[in-house]
Structure 1
Amino acid sequence: MDRPDNGVPAALLGAVAWRKSRFSNPSGNCVELARLPGDGIAVRNSRDPQGPALIYTRAEVEAFIHGVKNGEFDDLTD
């Protein structure tokens, strides 16, 4: 498969290994991530596993994770 576009139905990504944080809550309000062939990482809503997946590069996800670790988004949960 060529690099998928953002908003592609998650089912079209094939047999990728979706995973979520062990800190996810039991009611299913979670996001799941999957490594794609090449440089892509897909993100989907765990409550809608056949719904759209957003596709990011590894560098984009790394930048986001660094921002989270540095507290740059803490104000969003206040």
Structure 2
Amino acid sequence: MRPGVFNSEVVDQYRGHLAKHWNADLIDKANCKHRELLAVHVHKPDVKATLDKHDEETLFNEAWDCLKGCFMQLC
């Protein structure tokens, strides 16, 4: 998902809910980490292969857990 789409379809759409749990710095950090994840996906074949095993049916935590050791945790 391109950063602009991530911002408009995820962050902006759910900003009110996110703000209940995260401060503005954490929301900005999520945007930054998303951009970093995209770069890692392009430049690290092992990470790309791990992520590409999943589809829209995969739960977020399941896919995120597969990245342990490959990418920094968000918080």
Q: Would you call these one fold, judging by a TM-score over 0.5? A: no
The structure richer in helix per residue is: 2
Q: Tell me the TM-score normalized by structure 2.
A: 0.27
